[in-house]
Structure 1
Amino acid sequence: MSHETILQGVDNAELREVFTERLELVEHKLKFIESMPVAFVGMSNEANLALLPYVEAAGGMLVDAANLGVYVIYGEEGAGLNKLMSQVPALIDQEWQAVKNNRVALINLDFYNLEEVKDRVSFVEDLAEILHPGFFIFGNEGNAWIRFGN
């Protein structure tokens, strides 16, 4: 996958190289890992399809309904982790594969300014860590995102 969408706006060659290396590190590890169906939803349980390039770069295949995801990630602008933790339990269905397998995560989209390339790259890294635990550790778990167990 091309990283152009994520790297858009980086004119400084050194910075572009640093961000490209970070994305290529994720991409290299993902060559050996199966891509995961991911539902990225907000508090209305509607899929956020605008995040497709980030999910794909992190080794996911974005699906358009929560019940189709091997992983379900809840995130909405203006809804921090505390708000998500208090409201998500009422939104999930115990029959979803992701819920049965304890693969639900909450992410604070306000932690990332997706207008900034450094945050877009961090967002990809964090999504890769959520989707492929044990393969990636970038250090934002607990601050930007958490695993949500039921």
Structure 2
Amino acid sequence: MTKYKEIIATLRQKDNALAEHWEEEIDTIIHKLKFLTADAIPSVCIIDQNNNFQINQSSLLQEKVKIAGGTLVDHFQEDIAIFIIIQRDESLYGVIPDFINLQSGTKAIKNNNIYIIQTEQFDIQEDNYLQDVEILAEIIQPKYFIFGHNDTNWIKFDLN
């Protein structure tokens, strides 16, 4: 059983209407992306500012990225299509140029695909699972999803 189905099962015991809403939203995302070809599913690298820019590869985050239409990578490689940085404090903007220089050969940097998640709750609590998936879907598959989290919970870091 996937984690989101476990969360929905638990939520059903407390608030059936909310559980149905979550299930419908996640199922809609999955259905919209069901017929994507392999080349339309980008490789995604998520790094956490608090973890010295190491890759976050938790199984829960892998599930969220997959639902959102991407593939989470577990090591730095040139064909990374999207970098997502989880911001934990304002010092990020002072150190991000060093990270960009280290990863300048990647597809993500060359194509200006760097995103910063600014919400403090991202990937912290199960209660935020749906919001996390929505944020990731907006970033990873922007042609298909607009949930209104841009400029509130995440921004595109523009290199130009």
* TM > 0.5: yes
* Unmatched runs of 5 consecutive residues or more in structure 1: none
Alignment equivalent of 2:134, drawn from 116, 119, 125: 125
Q: 1:21, CA displacement in angstroms?
A: 0.7
Is contact 2:7–2:126 with CA below 8 Å preserved after alignment? no
SS at match of 1:88: helix
Q: 1:84, CA displacement in angstroms?
A: 2.8
SS at match of 1:128: helix
- Percent of residue pairs identical: 30
In 2, the alpha carbon distance for the partners of 1:106 and 1:5 equals 28
Give 1:1-150 correspondences, 5 Å limit: 2=2, 3-5=4-6, 7=8, 9-10=10-11, 11=13, 12-33=15-36, 34-43=40-49, 44-50=52-58, 51-67=61-77, 68-76=79-87, 79-80=88-89, 82-92=90-100, 93-112=103-122, 114-117=124-127, 119-150=128-159
Q: 1:8, CA displacement in angstroms?
A: 5.9
Q: 1:95, CA displacement in angstroms?
A: 1.0
RMSD, matched Cα: 2.2
Larger C-alpha radius of gyration, 1 or 2? 2
**AA at the equivalent of 2:109:** V
Alignment deviations for residues 99-139 of structure 1 (CA, whole Å, 9 cap, x no partner): 1011111112514474243x210110110110011211111
Is contact 1:6–1:121 with CA below 8 Å preserved after alignment? no
In 2, the alpha carbon distance for the partners of 1:138 and 1:31 equals 19
* Unmatched runs of 5 consecutive residues or more in structure 2: none
Q: Which runs of 4+ in 1 moved over 3 A?
A: 5-9, 111-114
TM-score by length of 2: 0.79
**CA distance 1:14–1:42, shift in 2 (3 Å):** same
Alignment deviations for residues 78-115 of structure 1 (CA, whole Å, 9 cap, x no partner): x14x4333322211222111010111111125144742
Q: 1:72, CA displacement in angstroms?
A: 0.9
